[in-house]
Structure 1
Amino acid sequence: MTSPRDSVPGRSGAGGQAPPPEPLGAGPGLRGLNRAPQAQAQPRSPPAPAPTRRPPRLARRRLGAGPAQCPACGGHVGRADQSARDSGLSTAGWASAGQLASAESARRALRTGHGARGPAGSRGFRLRPLSPLDVPAAAARGPARDGAGARKRHPGGHRCGPEQGNAVIIKPSEVSENTAKLLAKLLPQYLDQDLYAVVNGGVEETTELLKQRFDHILYTGNTTVGKIVMQAAAKHLTPVTLELGGKSPCFVDRDCDLDVACRRIAWGKFMNCGQTCIAPDYVLCEPSLQDQIVRKVQEAVKEFYGENVKESPDYERIVNLRHFKRIQSLLEGQKIAFGGEMDEATRYIAPTVLTDVDPDTKVMQEEIFGPILPIVPVKNADEAIQFINEREKPLAFYVFSHNSKLIKRMIDGTSSGGVTGNDVIMHFMLSSLPFGGVGSSGMGAYHGKHSFDTFSHQRPCLLKTLKREGANQLRYPPNSQSKVDWAKFFLLKRFNKGKLGLLLLTLLGILAAVLIKALWTLAWSSRVLNLTATVQSRAGL
């Protein structure tokens, strides 16, 4: 994957003047969140009474437009100021004035969410997903949404960052031109461009963007570009999350319902014309099952798309001519069981199944990313495991069998980003499961809470009292053997007997507490008795 090369219609109106931003509450479901109007210079008036109803969180952030500063980072708590300290991002060469996501917006988004860097250069966390070709809208929206919610707090409760969270720069793929344009058009209508910027452009723009200093980068695409992204991130030691794809195998056991298995495989493989990163890339099965799988996959294709697949409104096309040519070349010298029809003018490639595929051919050397399903015969599950392990680790792995022990054995014997048993793609749909690759298929994971954790910095904080200094004498010099012995005691070196040692230490603590309580009670009783005797003696006088 590279990055969008086509320019996007700008926001500039007549005479090159940008129109005023659309109110935040103009979109559906966002009523009541309009930007507060700027107050004009006038004598100070008494503060308005507190509202009876607490405004939504986003509205609270927008309504706070005062010049107050964060005591920890020095940044403005209100809206980003035009005069805030420049982040150092060069705007030349990667965003034109006509783009909806302007370079100025991206530059401001590289500051903290509240507009300025702190004295130590602290910044709000930033997520920049580079969207993939496959299902680009979902891939761009999910990480950006989940990552933007991750927050950081400063002492005193002030939360720094957009919506007290992460600023986001989204770089869609230029291959998915329509999706990139739609994102650039819609996001500024509902989100602050200073904090949520969409940058469109090609390789040159992406290269310039990668020179900037981010707090986190998420990239979805192919392995080659993933290495480039990681190399650029290494310059600033920026952590990255890479979702890179690969050849996701699918093993079909003879002990399974072939009708159901082939229907699900056909659905996952030919969805979006095969252009999804976790589509089943090839099928492993025993030679005796090959013809049955071909027949049942063909029946499923007719069920989904009808007799004339080309006329079906549910069957997509290859995204561009370059990918069409690439997929076309994969069929050279292959045995086509069914399908194979193509139309270059419309970039149509029919659902195609290949049989008796040689593992050394081109179609088995790269991710297909198209509607071609090779079938590779193997003797048994053990040979399938060996076949998978001899290749790069895939992003997904699918097993179809009634034998749960076999499924577990294949999961334990292989390594992949994710696994689904008796189905395909569905592990991606569950936000409760982490999604990501391993090895050449990527690193890191996101989705749901896992996205929040990925785009958050776990900052340990310990607040102690300045009292009870006597307890700290053991760590202060000068050192002595007595101090060492006490240190060993408290570190359970002498009583390090597992649970028994902890039990003895607990009993010792309880005994010490009881003894201290008894001494305190005795001292208090003695004091009371002395006071009573004194009072009585005075009364006698």
Structure 2
Amino acid sequence: MPDNDFHFLKTLPTRQREELLSTGRPSVEEVKKQLLKLKSILLEHEAAFTWALHSDLGKPAFESFSSEIAVLLNEIEYVCKHIAKWNRPVRSRHLKLGYVEAIQRMRHPYGSVLIIGSWNYPVQLTLMPAIGAIACGNRCVIKPSEHAPATAELLKEIINRAFPPERLHVVTGNAQTASLLTSAPFDLIFFTGSGKTGKAVAEQAAKQLTPVILELGGKNPCIMDETGYSKTAIREIVWGKFLNAGQTCIAPDTLFVHHSIYEKALNEISTSVSAFYGEQPQASRDYGRICTIAHFQKMVEFIGQGIVRHGGVHDRNDRFIAPTVVTDIKPESPILQEEIFGPVLPVIPYTDLKTLLSSGSLQRDTLTGYIFSKNKNQIQLFKEHMRSPTISVNQVIHHAASPHIAFGGVGRSGYGAYHGKAGFLAFSYEKTDYKTYHYLRFQGKFPPYSDQNMKALKKLRKWLL
């Protein structure tokens, strides 16, 4: 990296912060103007984004629009609709002994925000947090993933042409660039990616006491009990699992099926996969590719850890792995311990939900948990067991597209949440203006203290404090 680029990146947060201080917090109308500019970019360059996403991930045009562009357009429109209400100050008055306190609370931008995006949804997962950050009045630096190079370069070209660097700027580069950025004096860092890299980002940020929001992953369990089986339910699970070739942080990771419907479910899964992608999914225009060779190899190793009931075909030169279902997996196998993040679906039979939940087979702190059931008691039992911020009943994936639902993790799946109002809150802090109007001065609060003043304090504490 040239020295001038190094200096530019290290000083950019300070320049963004100074620009915010000199111009002041942008008005609601100014914020809307920036967000609508972002919206126009998405619309005007939809074809270019579709090409880039196909180049990086083999992503079908339908998935490019539905899971990337459309979600962002909806988010911008939702934020623009509600931003004025979210920005209004919250005022209250409280009568105390001797005075009236007047409180005004407002949300304020952190300043300069670093957003590090992920490769699996390289448009959505870089621009979605930027929408929340801009809505609060922050300045942003975006670092897209180097593992989706065509999309990263397109974002850099379009965004940097439309916005001055003091407002919004895209930086491309590898892990070294990301490390440089996380050591720069940002006011907040937002990271989407693996738990391992998330820990490194948090450790680097902690050296400067920079707050961090981490959106990680996990082994989202999906349970189908004896009342939850239907062809429609199986189609939903197959769609959610193999969307984006399985490279989705909220995809059903492992499917646990009640033993009474196990074989029936396996047969219907195969039927659905074939209906979606044909008998030769490599030739399907509706099925994506694995992002990197390293990730491809990991998926191949996972396939070898069980008996293949469907799929299993792979082509290294094309980064292709067919939608694959595996069974009869040893409990200690890595595929049951690590997040899969690819088109390999383990299907595990179980006999009793309580026994399954107590066995330790399910990660409790995932991004989401899925259950397909008509039994209210079973559903409630699953909800109480999981720590996930979101539990989805008889449906997969859709909740993540809603601006009405906060999206985020807990424990190993990260911390902090965004989307909709949650994003506005995540990228801002509460600032309070406090005033008092005295009608009587209580002298007993000043030293030297006396027993009499202590008695008065205990009697009047609600009015004094």
Bucket of the pairwise TM-score, normalised by the shorter protein: 0.7 to 0.9
> Does residue 1:108 correspond to 2:80, yes or no?
no
State the SS of the aligned residue for 2:318: coil
1:479 to 428, 449, 463: 449
1:397 pairs with 2:369: yes
2-side partners of 1:256 and 1:448: how far apart?
Answer: 31
Distance of 1:107 and 1:489 partners within structure 2: 51
- How many angstroms apart in 2 are the aligned matches of 1:148 and 1:338? 45
Q: Deviations over 1:409-466 (max 9, x none)?
A: 111022224211111112212211111111111111111111111111112220234x
Deviation by residue 1:255-299 (Cα, 9 ceiling, x = unmatched):
024212110000100000001111111111223322212211122
The 8 Å contact of residues 110 and 429 in structure 2, kept in 1 or not, is answered as no
Find the counterpart in structure 2 of residue 192 from structure 1.
Answer: 164
Q: Cα offset for 1:342?
A: 0.9
Please show how residues 103-502 of structure 1 align to structure 2 within 5 Å. 108-114=15-21, 124-150=110-136, 165-388=137-360, 391=363, 393-465=365-437, 468=439, 470-491=440-461
- CA positional deviation for 1:492: 5.1
Q: Which amino acid is the alignment partner of residue 491 of structure 1?
A: R
* SS of aligned partner of 1:183: helix
Q: Is the 8 A contact 1:112 1:124 kept in 2?
A: no
Distance (Å, rounded) in 1 between the aligned partners of 2:11 and 2:425: 29
Cα deviations across residues 81-105 of structure 1 (Å, max 9, x unaligned)?
Answer: xxxxxxxxxx8486599xxxx7775
Relative to structure 1, is the Cα distance of residues 221 and 250 closer, same or farther in structure 2, using a 3 angstrom cutoff? same
Counterpart amino acid of residue 126 in structure 2: A
Corresponding position of 2:72: none
After TM superposition, the structure 1 stretch with the greater mean CA deviation from structure 2, 105-114 or 234-243, is: 105-114
Aligned equivalents of 1:458 and 1:336: distance in 2? 53
Give the C-alpha shift of residue 472 in structure 1.
Answer: 3.2
Aligned partners of 2:318 and 2:234: how far apart in 1? Answer: 28
Higher helix share: 2
The runs of 5 or more residues in structure 2 that have no matched partner are 25-107
CA separation in 2, counterparts of 1:390 and 1:430? 26
Supply the RMSD in Å over aligned alpha carbons: 2.5
Secondary structure of 2:331's match? coil
Q: 1:333 to 1:149 in 2, by over 3 A?
A: closer
Q: Is 1:94–1:209's contact at 8 Å kept on the other side of the alignment?
A: no
8 Å Cα contact 2:218/2:363 also seen in 1: no
Please say if residues 123 and 151 of structure 2, whose CA atoms lie closer than 8 Å, have aligned partners that are also in contact: yes
Of structures 1 and 2, the larger Rg is shown by 1
Which is further off, 385-394 or 264-273? 385-394
1:191, CA displacement in angstroms? 2.4
Q: How far off its partner does 1:249 sit?
A: 0.8
Runs of 4+ in 1 over 6 A off after TM superposition: none
Distance 1:481 1:389, change over 3 A: farther
The answer on whether the counterparts of 1:223 and 1:440 sit within 8 Å (CA) in structure 2 is: yes
Check whether the contact 1:354–1:373 (CA below 8 A) recurs between aligned residues.
yes
**C-alpha distance after superposition, 1:142-168 (max 9, x if no partner):** 111112211xxxxxxxxxxxxxx1011
Residue aligning to 2:86: none
Letter aligned with residue 330 of structure 1? F
Q: Greater relative contact order: 1 or 2 (C-alpha under 8 angstroms, separation 6 or more)?
A: 2
TM-score (norm 1): 0.66
1:7-18 equivalence runs, <5 A: none
Q: Deviations over 1:460-501 (max 9, x none)?
A: 220234x53x323232234334433332222259xxxxxxxx
Structure 1 unaligned blocks of 5 or more? 1-6, 8-90, 151-164, 494-541
Give the letter aligned to residue 173 of structure 2.
G
Aligned amino acid, residue 490 of structure 1: L
| 3-state SS of paired residue (1:236) | coil
- Shift of residue 116 of structure 1? 9.2
- Matched residue SS, 1:471: coil
Comparing 299-308 with 443-452, greater Cα deviation is found at 299-308
Q: Is the 8 A contact 1:339 1:350 kept in 2?
A: yes
Contact 2:371 2:392 in 1 (8 A): yes
Percentage of pairs with the same residue: 33
| Larger relative strand fraction | 2
CA contact (8 A) 1:94 1:205 kept: no
For residue 185 of structure 1, report the CA deviation from its aligned partner: 1.4
Give the TM-score of the pair, scaled to structure 2.
0.76
| Amino acid aligned to 1:486 | A
Partner of 1:523: none
Task: Report the secondary structure of 2:255's partner residue.
Answer: strand
* SS at 2:392 equivalent: strand
